[in-house]
Amino acid sequence: MLDIATEVSAALDANKPVVALESTIISHGMPYPRNVETAMAVEAALRDGGAIPATIAVLDGKLKVGLSPDEIQSLGQLGLDAIKCSRRDLPFVVARRMNGATTVAATMIIAAMASIRVFATGGIGGVHRGVEETMDVSADLEELANTNVAVVCAGVKSILDIGRTLEYLETKGVPVIGYQTDNLPAFYSRDSGFPVDYRVDTAEEIAAAIKAKWAMKLNGGLLIGVPLPEEHAMPKEEIDSVIVDAIAEMQQQGISGKETTPYLLGSIVERTGGKSLDTNIQLILNNARVAAEIAAKMTL
């Protein structure tokens, strides 16, 4: 079931840095053709940083690790018709030989199967606002608790309940690291107001902590929060107001479950006149650059 691209397999065999990338950002996160343009730009950023990109998806029932440009193009055009795959979906998408885009959770699973230990994404899922009524908690958190992959991101998506998400990660023993920051970034903005467990200022120190964790058989991932550059960040007050309005609209329409995040991200793009999409792209590129540095130090 596992189909690893030749370039990725060769890099892993040679102990060269490899960074996993998810594919829901291609199918569900952005409109075509910017989704394809962004996916290719992120892969290029990894290569510029000395790492081999491994974009992950399920194509015709195969767990693909490393997509070709043509496959990225096809997935981008498929868009919302691709199944959004988390852990629960993978058996059925594989068995039925369907096409699926992998979430953070599913990407971590497949990356671990391929022995890829560093993964760059935009932001992780978490505990949703209003969880006391909906019990809506992303499977990303359980995967971070159990799967040995380090996740480089711009923090928890700001549409979520960041405080409760951090409490959940603490309970599960997942270290939350701030890369050159004392507070966890909040996706569109640089500072969520919530402190990280550990501030780390170099990729070398992060790699050392990752190696120490797994050497002690302390299974599970690490969350590495990277603030996007100041010139691309959105003011926290501005984006928070937009998110509140988008959530209220979503609740009125009765949208729930795994459709929540794509709906909210789309609504926020519309409400910000496309500014949030530009920010989203910049933070993913920034995360890829940091992930490439960490992956390089992991191979030493």
Q: Give pLDDT, residue 296.
A: 98
Please tell me the CATH superfamily of domain 2-298, with its number: Indigoidine synthase domain (3.40.1790.10)
In whole numbers, what is the pLDDT of the chain averaged over residues? 94
Q: What is the pLDDT, as a whole number, of residue 262?
A: 77
- Which of 83-92, 127-136, 180-189, 209-218 is least confident? 127-136
Tell me, yes or no, if 143 is annotated catalytic: no
Could you read off the pLDDT of 227-256 as tens digits, one per residue?
Answer: 999 999 888 888 888 888 888 888 888 887
Mean pLDDT of 34-59: 98
Give the predicted TM-score (pTM) of the model. 0.93
Percent of the chain with pLDDT over 90: 78
Domain boundaries of the chain, sorted by first residue: 2-298
Q: How many CB atoms are located within 10 Å of the residue 191 CB? A: 16
Considering the candidates 43, 84, 143, 157, report the single residue annotated as catalytic: 157
Question: pLDDT by residue (tens digit) across 109-164?
Answer: 999 999 999 999 999 999 988 888 888 899 999 999 999 999 999 999 878 899 99
Q: Is the pLDDT of residue 82 over 80?
A: yes
DSSP 154: S
Contact 109, 88 (CB under 8 A): no
* Nearest one of 119, 163, 160 to 143, comparing CA atoms: 119
Q: Is 64 a catalytic residue?
A: no
pLDDT bracket for residue 266 (50, 70, 90): confident
Residue 237's pLDDT is: 83
Task: Please state, in angstroms and rounded to a whole number, the distance separating the CA atoms of residues 182 and 200.
Answer: 9
Cα(155)–Cα(190) distance, rounded to whole angstroms? Answer: 9
Q: State the Cα–Cα distance between residues 64 and 54, nearest whole angstrom.
A: 9
The position carrying tokens 């952005």 is 30
Q: Which two tokens stand for residue 144?
A: 């971070």
Q: Closest Cα to residue 38, out of 226, 291, 283? A: 283
